[in-house]
Amino acid sequence: MKTPRHTVLVVAEASDTRKAITSGLSPRRFALDLARGPNDCLGPLLGARPDFVVMGIASPSPESLAPIRAILEADARARVIVVSPSPDQAFALECIRNGASDYLREPLKPGDLKRSIDRISCRAALTGKAREPDLSCILEERKTLKFGNDLGALPYVINQAVANASLVCPDVPMLKTALGEVLLNAIEHGNLGIVLKEKSAAITRNAYPELLRKRSVDPRHAGKVVTLHVRMTRDKLTYRVIDQGEGFDHRALFGRDPHATAGSGLGLFFAKSYFSRMIFRGRGNDVTLVYNKPGPGK
């Protein structure tokens, strides 16, 4: 029986740690992706969904546990192995409590990492965690997510919103993109009150990140939240997005050329073309998105 080839994301700031980790993994059994640090790893993680994440932590501290939690928020099924020179058993236990599957001491001995991966794989197989979830048992899903105006948190919110969407939608990445455009609009134009002309001018000056930063700490906007209601049946996805902004004239937006102004709502035009229906209520800060499951052969 042929041994399956695991994908491994290696996250380590020190080059000697990256070398020690990768040298213990045979390319015949492991496909490797490298990230220099926690800030670089979420993109590869979300895109590739590796089987394992091996994280080097040079200096144990409460702050060094945050990347473990961030990885598991991005992908709850991620299996994280921490590699550290620290002999502190209390820190090793904290890593496990924060979601790590194993803790290995540096310097690594030959075969340490391979044995850890084999051990975790065996344990996951015995508990059934290695199997893809069987969505056929789900008849309906309802949940409500509330979140603030941190754009960096949007990937986690979107992952939660589409957790079981593959039962209805054959192209979940495209669904995430379309939903993300509406949620981005709810934060930027809704809660933060950034109007289209203001955004266009800031983009032209390469000053939009600074505009977002200032608006997010402005007391008039900082406490506002977005509410996302999710409902899934066997043949339909429904997302209702409600922000706490003043709203906008959605009829005027969709009545003009979306390319006329930089940052003028192209994302909403894309979402409108993707979803089966886009229904605005009242003053435009309450929108329902409906995606109908494609018929056979579509």
Q: Which CATH class is domain 6-127?
A: alpha beta
CB 18 within 8 A of CB 44: no
> What superfamily does domain 135-292 belong to in CATH?
Histidine kinase-like ATPase, C-terminal domain (3.30.565.10)
The Cα–Cα gap between 199 and 212 comes to 10
- 166 versus 18: the higher-pLDDT residue is 166
Domain-by-domain residue ranges, the chain?
6-127, 135-292
pLDDT at residue 41, rounded to an integer: 65
pLDDT at residue 129, rounded to an integer: 47
Amino acid at 139: L
Mean pLDDT, rounded, for 63-91: 85
pLDDT band at 250 (very low <50, low <70, confident <90, very high): low
The pLDDT value given to residue 45: 63
Tell me what pLDDT residue 4 has.
58
pLDDT at residue 259, rounded to an integer: 45
Contact criterion met (CB below 8 Å) for 280 and 286: yes
Residue 228 has pLDDT above 90, yes or no: yes
Mean pLDDT lowest among 19-23, 25-29, 239-243: 25-29
The yes-or-no verdict on residue 263 having pLDDT over 50 is no
Q: What is the pLDDT of residue 1?
A: 41
Fold match flag (6-127 vs 135-292): no
Asked whether the predicted pLDDT for residue 37 surpasses 60, the reply is yes
Using one digit for the tens of pLDDT, what is the confidence trace for 88-144?
Answer: 888 888 888 888 999 998 888 878 888 888 888 877 666 554 455 567 778 899 999
Identify whether the C-beta of residue 184 lies closer than 8 Å to the C-beta of residue 265: no
Q: Higher pLDDT residue, 15 or 248?
A: 15
| Confidence class for position 5, pLDDT limits 50, 70, 90 | confident
For residue range 180-202, what is the model confidence (pLDDT) as tens digits? 889 988 998 889 988 877 887 88
Band (pLDDT 50/70/90 cuts) for residue 87 is confident
Taking 50 as the threshold, does the pLDDT of residue 261 lie above it? no
Per residue in 143-184, pLDDT (tens digit) is: 999 999 888 888 889 999 998 999 999 999 889 989 988 998
